[in-house]
Structure 1
Amino acid sequence: MAKTTYRKRKINGKEYYFYRLRHKNLKKPKDMYGTTVKELNTKIKSAVNELDNGITDNREYFGAFIKEWLYNTHLVNKKPSTRERYDSVFRNYIDDSPIYDIKLKDLTPLDIQDYYKKLVAAGKSIAAIKNLHKLIAPAIRYAYDSNKIVKDFSRAIVLPQDNEQKKLNKINDVRPFTIDEQMKFIKAIEGEPLEMLFLTAIDTGLRQGELFALTWKDIDFNNSCIRVNKSFKSIRNIDSGTYESITQTPKTINAIRVVPIPEHLIPKLKQYKLQQKKLKFKLANLYEDNNLVFCNEFGKHLDSSNVRKKLKKILESIGLPDRRFHDLRHTFATRLFELGENPKTVQELLGHGNISITLDTYTHVLADMKVKAVSKLNDLYSSMREK
């Protein structure tokens, strides 16, 4: 047996190795115990490391720490939609979770890694876990910067990845109209109150929130373009718990952009504007003039649920499969790719944060383009042989 200078003590009839730790950051000596010399050495080393780094609070739990940090530091001055998103992540994935009651000083990368693994096993999406990590990683960094933990281990955590089937499901979730379906849909919405909303979505690729926030000041008929600089949505106020509608700047700088208006759409938008003016005059004081391009009959913002129901009803009436409003945006992008437009241009028109989002979203379209490109090469060689 290895020699040791540690004394032994009996507690409740059981023998322990004992050490009285003294340190400049301790107000009084701290007694430490271990059933083996190795265990006691590990505890002493860990305690000294924490004390050397000024870490003296051993009672704070990770859940309580992240809650305090989130609402009193991280979310200060954040947009309402960002506050709502992170509040939802905390309530659904941290509050009352296995990692909530782990002491902050005892938290390890393995604890987080194991929790992510359990979430995957429970069927949670990789996207949801990545959103959770956007909360946990900066919280760990803040804890380190605040001398609450010895090491910033946020970069040691490995995020789970989508398997091939899930990637395939994502691709299948993009359901643009075929050209024939698009023409059939355009014919079906003629004269509908939301005709111009649907047409503009298909011909510009704007997101629903961007279209709902669009004002006539944003449309430049002289230069045939739309200036996209804001978005409208309904969010839950995390302080009151009630839902409220807000118009805010886009999430990323790339979303602020100028989108050309197809030539055929310009006279339709002008005619639509004239009709809107007539309705405004007719309703007089009943009309709430927010200068919105797309609004309900009283000038107020459109309701996404009602728009969704109307789209579903139109598709059913012409025998087309159900689609989301966002698939109108996918249709715009798909047509551009089919016409030979390069991905970088499509990215800029859609306002994607980076080119990889565009490439990942439209993998199936780009794959078809590759086949056509090779086919053109075959045709070239055939023509060369004939000569």
Structure 2
Amino acid sequence: MAKTIYKKKVKNGKEYYFYRLRHKNLTTPRDLYALSVKELDEKIKAILTDLDFNITNTKESFEAFFRDWLFDVRFLTLKPSTKERYEGVYRNYIKNSPLSNIKIKDITLSDIQTYYNKLVKSGHSVNCLKMINKLIAPCIRYAYNNSMIIKDFTGAIVLPKETEETKLNKASKVQPFSLDEQRRFVKAIKNHELEMLFITALNSGLRQGELLALTWSDIDFDRHYIDVNKTAKYVANVSSNGREHSKIIIQTPKTIKGNRKVSIPPTLTQQLKIYRFKQLEQKSLLLNLYQDNNLVFCTKFGKYLDSGNIRKRFNKIIDSINDNEKDEYKKISPRKFHDLRHTYATRLFELGEKPKTVQELLGHSDISVTLGTYTHVLESMKIIAASKLNDLYISMQTD
């Protein structure tokens, strides 16, 4: 048997190897026990490592630590809509996940990387992984800064890169109306209660939340522009206990670029003037029943429109167009309200507008977002440009 410096002690009728550990970061000595010399060596080494780095001795799990960090620390500086989104990440990807029961002091790069790789193999998107890491990485850094773990390893985490195929898949989800479909849509919404909401979306490219938050003071009728400075969204209050019922909130745009002045066609300005006059007439008829929020688009009682109701009515319009169309090839495929914004951008590109201008009008934070979103449109523009060049050379030869 190998010699050892450790003494033996009997505890609860069983013999153990024993060591009394002293360290500058311990207020009192700590007694350690193990059945073998090797086990006691490993135990001493692990505890000394924690003590040398002044790691807090805790049995708290990663899930519990993440939950407390998210709801008590990270939430302090977030908008309600972001809180709602992050609560969903916690509920779907952290709570009861393979990481949940690992002690925060024992969490490693390998634990995180293995979990991410598993998510990729099960079909989760690159954007999904980026969103999860957007929370896990700062949580790990917070643990490191508070002496809960020895090393901040977040810089070594490898996230999957977007392939050309995934980029094309993302672009394929953008479904603007063709010019013919747009004409038929505009014809179908004539005298519809939400006609001006749809017309304004098609002629300004504003997001639905920006349109629902729009007030009459945001429209400059003389200089023909809309001042985009806020957005409306139905958001639920969230906590570590879950989420409550949704309610409408008004908040600033997500990015600095979201605050913008969008020039609109004079024809739209004129339509909005007529629409405002009719709204004032309705307001005078309803008297005290009207809740004046100075909203451009609202219910007949002046309240905020419900996005779910808008979606249903939008789909109903598409269905009615298709019901009246005998030619199967001309039927409009399912669309989202957001495709009105894509239609606006597509028309601008077709008219020869530069990507930088489109980016500014749409309020994209970076031009790469614009270029990535409208890849298919820009590709078709290249073909048209080549065709024009070909026509030019032919005309030069015939002169």
Same fold (TM over 0.5): yes
> Counterpart in 2 of 1:341?
353
Counterpart secondary structure, 2:226:
strand
Name which of 317, 325, 328 aligns with 2:340: 328
Change (3 A) 1:346 1:6: farther
Counterpart secondary structure, 1:241:
strand
> Counterpart in 1 of 2:264?
261
Structure-to-structure mapping, 1:222-241, within 5 angstroms: 222-239=222-239, 241=244
Deviation at 1:144, TM superposition (A): 0.9
1:308 aligns with 2:320: no
Matching residue's letter, 1:61: S
Question: What are the superposed Cα offsets for residues 281-301 of structure 1, whole Å, 9 maximum, x if unpaired?
Answer: 111111111110001111111
Percent pairwise identity: 56
Q: Provide the C-alpha distance between the structure 1 equivalents of 2:164 and 2:103, rounded to a whole number of angstroms.
A: 37
Structure-to-structure mapping, 1:49-68, within 5 angstroms: 49-68=49-68
Q: Provide the C-alpha distance between the structure 1 equivalents of 2:40 and 2:170, rounded to a whole number of angstroms.
A: 51
Deviation at 1:156, TM superposition (A): 1.2
Q: Compute the RMSD of aligned alpha carbons.
A: 2.8
> Counterpart in 2 of 1:31?
32
- Whether the 8 Å CA contact 2:32–2:40 is kept in 1: the answer is no
Number of residue pairs the alignment of both structures matches: 385
**Is there any run of 5+ residues in structure 2 with no aligned partner, and where?**
323-331
Deviation at 1:166, TM superposition (A): 3.5
> Counterpart in 1 of 2:81?
81
Matching residue's letter, 1:25: N
- Whether the 8 Å CA contact 1:6–1:18 is kept in 2: the answer is no
Q: Provide the C-alpha distance between the structure 2 equivalents of 1:34 and 1:353, rounded to a whole number of angstroms.
A: 61
Change (3 A) 1:376 1:64: same
Change (3 A) 1:15 1:300: same
> Counterpart in 2 of 1:198?
198
Counterpart secondary structure, 1:75:
helix
Q: Provide the C-alpha distance between the structure 1 equivalents of 2:225 and 2:18, rounded to a whole number of angstroms.
A: 77
Q: Provide the C-alpha distance between the structure 1 equivalents of 2:19 and 2:374, rounded to a whole number of angstroms.
A: 64
> Counterpart in 1 of 2:255?
252
Change (3 A) 1:380 1:52: farther
Deviation at 1:87, TM superposition (A): 1.4
Deviation at 1:383, TM superposition (A): 4.2
- Whether the 8 Å CA contact 1:189–1:314 is kept in 2: the answer is yes
TM-score (norm 2): 0.88
Deviation at 1:244, TM superposition (A): 1.3
Question: What are the superposed Cα offsets for residues 157-205 of structure 1, whole Å, 9 maximum, x if unpaired?
Answer: 1122344443332221100000111111111111111110000001100
Structure-to-structure mapping, 1:172-183, within 5 angstroms: 172-183=172-183
Question: What are the superposed Cα offsets for residues 59-116 of structure 1, whole Å, 9 maximum, x if unpaired?
Answer: 1211111111111111014221122111121111111111011011111111111112
- Whether the 8 Å CA contact 1:218–1:228 is kept in 2: the answer is yes
> Counterpart in 1 of 2:156?
156
- Whether the 8 Å CA contact 1:126–1:160 is kept in 2: the answer is yes
Q: Provide the C-alpha distance between the structure 2 equivalents of 1:42 and 1:386, rounded to a whole number of angstroms.
A: 89
- Whether the 8 Å CA contact 1:16–1:36 is kept in 2: the answer is no
Matching residue's letter, 1:174: V
Q: Provide the C-alpha distance between the structure 2 equivalents of 1:150 and 1:368, rounded to a whole number of angstroms.
A: 53
Deviation at 1:16, TM superposition (A): 10
- Whether the 8 Å CA contact 1:22–1:30 is kept in 2: the answer is no
> Counterpart in 2 of 1:297?
300
Change (3 A) 1:381 1:183: same
- Whether the 8 Å CA contact 2:98–2:115 is kept in 1: the answer is yes
Deviation at 1:364, TM superposition (A): 0.6
Change (3 A) 1:162 1:30: farther
> Counterpart in 1 of 2:168?
168
**Is there any run of 5+ residues in structure 1 with no aligned partner, and where?**
none
Question: What are the superposed Cα offsets for residues 205-229 of structure 1, whole Å, 9 maximum, x if unpaired?
Answer: 0000000000000001111100001
- Whether the 8 Å CA contact 1:8–1:15 is kept in 2: the answer is no
- Whether the 8 Å CA contact 1:213–1:247 is kept in 2: the answer is yes
- Whether the 8 Å CA contact 1:175–1:330 is kept in 2: the answer is yes
Change (3 A) 1:359 1:35: farther
Deviation at 1:129, TM superposition (A): 2.3
Change (3 A) 1:34 1:188: farther
Change (3 A) 1:21 1:342: farther
Counterpart secondary structure, 2:244:
coil
Deviation at 1:249, TM superposition (A): 0.9
Counterpart secondary structure, 1:254:
helix
Q: Provide the C-alpha distance between the structure 1 equivalents of 2:229 and 2:287, rounded to a whole number of angstroms.
A: 29
